[in-house]
A = this chain, B = another copy of it.
Amino acid sequence: MATLGIDLGGTYARAAVVDANGTILAADKVALSERSPTAVVESIAGAVAAALKLASDVPVSAIGVGAAGQLQGETGIIRVAPNLGWRDVPLGALLAQRFGRPVRVVNDLSAAAWGELKVGSGRGAQDLFVVFVGSGVGSAIIANGQLVTGASGVAGEFGHIKVVPNGRLCGCGERGCLEAYAGGRNLIAQLQEAIDGARPTLLKQLAAEPGPRPLAPTLLETAADAGDPVALEIFERAADSLALAVANQVTVLNPARLVLGGGTLARMPGLKRHILAGVLAYTLTVSREALTITDAELGDDSGIIGAALL
């Protein structure tokens, strides 16, 4: 018996038939040209049909969805999905109606954490703290072998803890969030501000170099490594905030494994070293002694596998 996993991002949807061992038997991906809930459900249906056709000999029981948005508890309702421009969309009900099968919807990071727990870097652990630093900063918590969803389904919003009271404006509309300093999108914004600013900085030269070079967070590490004070300031504020916050969360949660993932972290080895050093320096000893730190193993597949296994 297999289940169907759906990974709903802001620009695409993926569907996969996943067996009980977490192996992807068949998968399909569609771009989301239109973002209305009805159009997205139809796009998902296309991917689902294609995946089911590829694995037509396998009976599929239930559907799990990992969606990039804030869930309303276990209702299947997406409260806010910024990248889709959604508010209060009953995605679970829409999909259950469309497919005639039970549907469970969770946050994309929760799904990814579940995938890592079951068949990735968290295998065998009961207590996991998973941190993703991509364009945003997010986390998921697994305690006693169960996903911690919280009272209204938004547990793990680690990117929106406040690190500078009334600080930098975050994409969530609040101020001083960890993500406002350390998320990929905000690192790029801070780079751009530095390039446009009055202070001299190596960043201006690096960004002006010929050739197509996106304003990536890697630029920041290059300039910070070269000792550029402006770059160092941005880098250290991001890295120190992230390192201390991760360490403190490990102190409180006492997980067996800390799983680090996300595209920004993958492209910024210095940031990752800073987190590892921070955990070493700031985590309470008794919590640190129980901890293993690993990279996310499943990459982009963790969400779809986790959604299917949930």
Q: Is A268 positioned at the interface, with any CB of B under 8 Å from its CB?
A: no
Chosen A-B contacts, 6 in total, with CB atoms closer than 8 Å, are A150-B253, A154-B284, A161-B247, A161-B248, A162-B251, A172-B284
- A161 in complex: contacting residue of B141, B158, B252, CB < 8 Å: B252
A289 at interface by CB-CB < 8 Å: yes
CB within 8 A of A148: which of B125, B158, B160, B253?
A: B253
Given A139-B252, A144-B146, A172-B284, A244 contacting B152 (CB threshold 8 A)? no
Q: Is A302 an interface residue (CB 8 A)?
A: no
**Does A204 sit within 8 A of B, measured CB to CB?**
no
| A291 and B151 form a contact (CB under 8 A) | yes
Given contacts A146-B143, A165-B282, contact A152 B70 (CB under 8 A): no
For residue A118, give the distance in angstroms from its CB to the closest CB of chain B: 17
Residues of B within 8 A of A282 (CB): 162, 165, 176
Answer whether A150 and B70 are a contact pair too, CB < 8 Å, given A139-B252, A251-B160, A251-B161. Answer: no
A126 to chain B, nearest CB (A): 7
Write out, one digit per residue, whether chain A residues 135-172 have a CB within 8 A of any chain B CB (1) or not (0).
00001010110101111111111101110010000001
Known contacts being A144-B146, A284-B172, is A155 close to B249, with CB within 8 Å?
A: no
Q: How many copies does the complex hold?
A: 2
Q: Quick one: given A144-B144, A148-B144, A248-B161, are A153 and B284 in contact (CB under 8 Å)? A: no
Query: In the bound complex, how far is the Cα of B143 from the Cα of A165, in angstroms?
Result: 27
Known: A162-B248, A162-B282, A244-B165. A155 touches B70 (CB 8 A): no
Of residues 238 through 296 on chain A, the ones whose CB sits less than 8 Å from some CB of chain B are 240, 244-245, 247-249, 251-256, 281-282, 284-287, 289-291
Which residues of B are found within 8 Å of A158, using beta-carbon distances? 251-252
Docked CA distance A85–B240 (Å): 35
A174 within 8 A of B: yes
Nearest-neighbour CB distance to chain B for A247, whole angstroms, equals 7
Q: Say yes or no for A35: interface residue by CB 8 A criterion.
A: no
A7 interface contact, C-beta 8 A: no
